[in-house]
């Protein structure tokens, strides 16, 4: 294998975590397979973005153009198709994000390359990638191989790989002109709407305290929220809590919610259904509080506390606050 492409994802000058995660995976593949990592950066005035990833790629190919200020899959598709045709990378990684979910399928159609989406791991066998995907809401892991092709497209689920740097690289910066003149645009960017004040992105949190149906009543969520606040963490939840309209959907962890990658995940009154665990593959240390010693969450948790959350959570919170006071 010669070269792995990753499509850099950034927004308003900020690099999205998925970029670092893909660079980590590409770096790991590069170490194993002696290939190079090229980051493809589309945007406008993106030198600081390039700077921030320059020690994680061998090459950064930059298309800097006013027309690329905001993401538009129509333009990105044309640029990527041209670049893939020219460089023939063995593999192109794209985030399985709102960007990537729009770009990857149309790029696959445009280039004729095979695409595997929402992958949670990638390996190589007989010079071809093999990817791992989840099926049936995370109940089954499937290993997928491709028919032989000149290249392969893979979208990567957020939060499944570390964000750390792997290897020590020094990227060569290559600037390319956007020679495409008349790209037929079927969509236009209208505006970027920030999430409302107070809203949080649980995929970015380092510590999540997640509340499940074991909490019993809506008003009891406050107890768990206070523990999250004491720990400087963020509150998240399982699906029944959202279904009951006790918390908003964007706080839901799991296969029909968000995949998260906190350093620490504390599950309070959550049984550990596979749909919930499907969102936890990127989590570091998992701690479970549950009164049922046979709850499936204990099979996944690194630490477990068997007991009544109404007794345990207040004690934990007080201990944390005491420790903070010194
Ligand atoms: C297509 C599909 C998609 C889904 N997607 C998701 C998803 O994205 N995320 C998700 O979370 N679920 C999802 N689900 C639902 C999932 O199957 C489970 O129903 C759900 O995860 C259960 O949530 P829970 O653990 O909070 O509740 P329960 O399974 O009811 O567990 C509650 C737990 O609390 C414990 N408990 C009760 N009282 C106490 C107490 N006082 N102290 C301590 N522990 C106590 C119990 O022992 C129990 O283990 C999905 C289901 C389907 C069919």
- Residue 73: other Cβ atoms inside 10 A: 20
CA of 305 to the centre of ligand 1 (A): 17
CA of 297 to the centre of ligand 1 (A): 10
Pocket test for ligand 1, best of 238, 280, 307, 310 (most atoms within 8 A of CB): 238
Name beta bridge partners: 93: 6, 154
CA of 142 to the centre of ligand 1 (A): 24
* Cα-Cα-Cα-Cα dihedral sign, residues 211, 160, 62, 117: negative
Burial of 311 (0-12, 13-18, 19+ CB in 10 A): exposed
Q: Which residues lie with the beta carbon below 6 Å from any ligand 1 atom?
A: 137, 212-214, 238-240, 252-257, 269-271, 273, 275-276, 279, 289-292, 295, 308-310
Q: What is the DSSP string of 197-256?
A: TT---GGG-SEEEEE-GGG-SGGGHHHHHHHHHHTT-EEEE-HHHHHTTSS-GGGBBSTT
Tens place of pLDDT per residue across the chain (326 aa)? 689 999 999 998 899 989 999 999 999 999 888 899 999 999 999 999 999 999 999 999 999 999 899 999 999 999 999 999 999 999 999 999 989 999 999 999 999 999 999 999 999 988 899 999 988 766 688 999 999 999 999 999 887 888 888 878 999 999 998 877 777 788 888 888 775 545 788 988 999 999 999 999 999 999 999 999 999 999 999 999 999 999 999 999 998 888 899 999 999 999 999 889 989 988 999 999 999 999 999 999 999 999 999 999 999 999 999 998 87
CA of 276 to the centre of ligand 1 (A): 7
Nearest-CA residue for ligand 1 atom 50 is 275
């Amino acid at each position: 294998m010669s070269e792995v492409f990753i499509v850099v994802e950034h927004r308003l000058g900020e690099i999205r975590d998925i970029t670092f995660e893909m660079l980590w995976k590409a770096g790991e593949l590069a170490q194993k397979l002696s290939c190079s990592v090229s980051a493809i950066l589309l945007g406008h005035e993106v030198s600081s973005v390039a700077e921030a990833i320059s020690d994680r790629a061998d090459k950064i190919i930059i298309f800097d153009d006013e027309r690329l200020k905001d993401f538009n899959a129509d333009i990105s598709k044309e640029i990527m198709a041209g670049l893939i045709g020219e460089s023939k990378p063995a593999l192109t990684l794209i985030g399985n994000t709102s960007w990537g979910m729009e770009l990857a399928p149309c790029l696959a159609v445009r280039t004729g390359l095979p695409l595997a989406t929402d992958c949670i791991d990638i390996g190589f066998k007989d010079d071809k990638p093999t990817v791992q995907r989840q099926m049936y809401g995370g109940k089954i892991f499937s290993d997928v191989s491709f028919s032989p092709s000149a290249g392969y497209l893979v979208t990567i689920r957020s939060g499944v790989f570390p964000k750390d740097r792997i290897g020590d690289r020094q990227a060569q910066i290559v600037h390319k002109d956007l020679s495409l003149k008349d790209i037929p645009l079927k969509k236009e960017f209208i505006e970027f709407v920030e999430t409302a004040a107070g809203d949080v992105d649980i995929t970015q949190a380092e510590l999540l305290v997640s509340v499940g149906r074991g909490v019993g009543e809506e008003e009891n969520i406050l107890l768990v929220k206070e523990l999250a606040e004491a720990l400087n963490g963020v509150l998240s939840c399982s699906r029944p809590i959202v279904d009951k309209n006790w918390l908003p959907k964007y706080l839901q962890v799991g296969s029909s919610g968000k995949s998260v990658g906190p350093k620490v995940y504390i599950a309070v009154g959550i049984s550990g259904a596979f749909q919930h665990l499907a969102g936890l593959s990127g989590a570091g240390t998992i701690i479970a509080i549950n009164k049922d010693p046979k709850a499936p969450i204990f099979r996944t948790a690194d630490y477990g506390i068997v007991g009544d959350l109404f007794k345990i959570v207040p004690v934990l919170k007080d201990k944390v606050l005491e420790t903070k006071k010194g």
